[in-house]
Amino acid sequence: MESNLRQRVRGTLDQLRSELLAQRTAEGHWVGELSASALSTATAISALSATLIHAPRSIDNEDAIEDQIVCGMQYLSQQQNADGGFGDTDRSHSNIATSYLVLAASSLAKQSRSVGLESNQLAALEAYIKSEGKIDGLRRRYGKDKTFVVPILANMAIAGLVSWDDVPRLPFEASVFPQSMYRVLQMPVVSYAIPALVAIGQARHFHGSKTWLPIRLIRAAAVNRSMRVLRRMQPDSGGYLEATPLTSFVLMSLAATGRGDCEVSRDAIRFLTDSMNTDGSWPIDTNLATWITSLSISALASDPDDDGSWFSPSLVDWHLGCQHRQRHPFTGAQPGGWGWTDLSGAVPDGDDTPGAVLAVKRMQRHASGSQVARMDTAISEARQWLIDLQNRDGGWPTFCRGWGKLPFDRSSTDLTAHALRAFGENGLNHASKQKAERFLTRHQADDGSWLPLWFGNQDHPAEDNPVYGTSRVLLAGAAGFLSDEAIRRGASYLCSNQNADGGWGGGASILPWMKRDRLRDAGVQAAEDLTSSVEETAVAIEALTAIYSKNGRLSTNDHGKMPKDSIEFAQTGPTAGKNDPKQVIIRGVEFLLQSVHDGRHRVPWPIGFYFAKLWYHEKLYPLVFTVAALSSFLRSDLD
């Protein structure tokens, strides 16, 4: 007879499955909903305002754009934190980058249509920026990576708040070389930022102090050719990477140099005006439809009682249709990978591709006929794409092999673990597999954790998320990769860092938000000792149950299985000595059950990192992650 806990998990999982299935589109896939972003809203306001100021003839619907600027500023005026600064989302701590961008947006909006922050709001904002060290503080936040510092300074220069000479020069002329040479040229920005490099670099060339004559002549000769690169990289939607900030930086730079009426600018305007939310905000990106669909499929299919009711031939067609079939104009990536969305601005990458492969493999159980053959071909092409992406250090980067050491170009642990799971134990040659495992072993911290690339914790001292990173790498361990010792240390880290409320991650910022009146009115409850997030707890439980499961395969030298009771987790954290690993897992499951009962699985938390440490939260993350976690628990023999 099933224990009471398993019965409760089963009932809760059935509820969550119904909720997740109800979130599908009419076509049978998932789109999700990205958080509104003060950062994105600020950049969009700046771009549209700069166009009205410097290139009004490029505007066909000037009145509508004026309305959007006004609505955008009204949204921003409601997002200022108590310390005077602005955070990326409505649940984010203030940071100097977003605060500077809001300051620039307010200035440009006042110049274009006499709307902006109130004087008291501006005073508080300027005081916050001063307390953070002003420009020096901005540079400290990003270190050697100029990918986001230079666009912010350019935005400030366009607003007239700093001199153009304060904006570092960017070698936009390098963009005219073949893409295969970009990594050799040692670009000062990451691979995805080439459009910003071109547009901002040109604006600095036109407005800043003159450089050495031969260099100036070379750059002048490269303007038109680099503009063609900018146009070639622009997707049909008009939005580079479907991202509001990147598209906005391009548009405001072109407008500031009198080119607001060129094709690139007109399509960028179209993208921005089409992507505004009804509340006057802009999201960080249009959507993560492919990523969310892949995660949803894998979560639903992992339920031991899954009946496949989520499956449909149209879902297969949609998902396979998201696979890129041509060489990508943005990164030069060969066909075979998946990006994060089905929209034209997506770029194939080393995290969405493994996620899609795992989802397609799950769907194969229910497919028949010609679809199975198509799926086999898609998986084979994606695996070859991933093989070609693997870096010399054994890890996987996001977009481009061997590009550099800046974030999103260097290898990362969560992407490497995800790629290994997509290959499976026999899908990668022995040498490549060993290199990948060595990479993960080298990057395991002394405390047993791994740090991810795409996810963070705003309450963590370094804004890292070792809970997420460790959990995702341990899933690769449960799939037959990594040494027993690496797995033991990673699992020990998670067990030793369980919070007093039974969950993981989170921090001091969660409880005040969960106690807000509007959430309480919506039926969301929060205990006084709440610290953990649903998302981080769910990924930790999924990983620990996968490792602890009777059927969980743990890699050993003789390719055998290691009994779960031989895993001895040294506990040194908040729960040290209180319970064994089984009890750690059960407490975590109880936290998830209580979270669902209290409605907190419907309140996403900003654990997502976008490019350059831009925070976001995604509506479906807590729901999808919890479905995967409870399914993993039911596959184990724990009770």
The verdict on 219 and 335 lying in the same domain is: no
Break the chain down into helix, strand, coil percent, rounded to 5. 55, 5, 40
Does 197 have pLDDT greater than 70?
Answer: yes
Residue 403 has a pLDDT of 65
- Closest Cα to residue 422, out of 373, 477, 361, 349? 361
For residues 29 and 41, membership in a common domain is answered with: no
Instruction: Check residues 3 and 157 and name the one with the higher pLDDT.
Output: 157
Looking at the fold, whether 332 and 230 belong to one and the same domain comes out as no
- Using an 8 Å Cβ cutoff, are 188 and 171 in contact? yes
Selection from 620, 619, 630, 618 nearest residue 585 by Cα: 630
Burial 618-637, CB ≥16 within 10 A → b, else e: bbbbbbbbbbbbbbbbbbbe
- Residue 418's alpha-carbon distances to 39, 116, 430, 477, 549, in angstroms, are 29, 45, 17, 11, 20
Per DSSP, 614 falls in state: E
From CA 498, how far away is CA 571, in angstroms rounded?
Answer: 10
256 plus 360 within the same structural domain: no
Question: Which residue in the block uniquely carries the two structure tokens 């060993």?
Answer: 434
Rounded CA-CA distance 575/55 in Å is: 61
Over residues 407-422, the mean pLDDT reads 91
Dihedral through CA 488, CA 494, CA 496, CA 500, nearest 10? -160
Q: How far apart are CA 106 and CA 130, in angstroms?
A: 17
- What integer is the mean pLDDT of 322-340? 91
Both 220 and 72 in one domain: the answer is yes
105-133, pLDDT tens digit by residue? 999 999 998 899 999 999 999 999 999 99
406 and 486 in a single domain? The answer is yes
Q: For residue 348, which amino acid is it?
A: P
Which residues are 482's β-sheet partners? none
For residue 291, pLDDT over 70 is answered with: yes
- pLDDT at residue 200 in the model: 94
CA dihedral 405, 410, 413, 416 (to 10 degrees): -160
| CA–CA dist 345, 330 (Å, integer) | 9
Q: Looking at the structure, do residues 412 and 533 belong to the same domain, yes or no?
A: yes
Helix, strand, or coil (residue 34):
strand
User: Could you tell me if 334 and 194 lie in one domain?
Assistant: no
459 contact partners, CB below 8 Å, separation of at least 6: 506, 507, 508, 509, 510
State the total domains in the chain.
2
Of 283, 307, 333, which one is at a domain's C-terminal end? Answer: 283
Q: Among the listed ranges 35-44, 371-380, 509-518, 611-620, which one has the minimum average pLDDT value?
A: 611-620
Residue-wise pLDDT for 574-608, tens only, equals 444 455 789 999 999 999 999 999 999 999 999 98
Question: 420 and 502 in one domain?
Answer: yes
Q: Are residues 346 and 227 in the same domain?
A: no
Point out the domain boundary residue: 249, 283, 317.
283
SS3 call for 608 = strand
DSSP for 259-314?
-TTSHHHHHHHHHHHHS--TTS-EESBS--HHHHHHHHHHHHHTSTT---TT--HH
What Å distances lie between residue 431 and 53, 387, 428, CA to CA? 58, 12, 8
Same domain, 251 and 291: no
Between CA 236 and CA 128 the distance in angstroms is: 40
Co-location of 29 and 77 in the same domain: no
Q: What is the CATH number of the domain that holds 621?
A: 1.50.10.20
In order, the DSSP letters of 37-90 are: EHHHHHHHHHHHHHHHHH-GGG-SSHHHHHHHHHHHHHHHHT---TTS---SST
| pTM assigned to the model | 0.93
Q: What is the mean pLDDT of residues 557-581?
A: 46
Q: What is the dihedral of CA 5, 11, 13, 19, to 10 degrees?
A: -150
Look up residue 510 and give its amino acid.
I
Across the chain, mean pLDDT equals 90
Least confident of 32-36, 316-320, 335-339, 613-617: 613-617
> What's phi and psi for 508, nearest 5 deg?
-65, -20
Domain termination site, one of 283, 305, 325 = 283
Residue 193 binned pLDDT confidence (cut-offs 50, 70, 90): confident
Domain extent at residue 141:
36-283
3-class DSSP string for 242-268 = HEHHHHHHHHHHHHHCCCCCCHHHHHH
Q: pLDDT per residue over 485-542, tens digit each?
A: 999 999 999 999 999 999 999 999 999 999 999 999 999 999 999 999 999 999 999 9
Q: Are 534 and 594 in contact (CB under 8 A)?
A: no
* 196 close to 246: Cβ distance less than 8 angstroms: yes
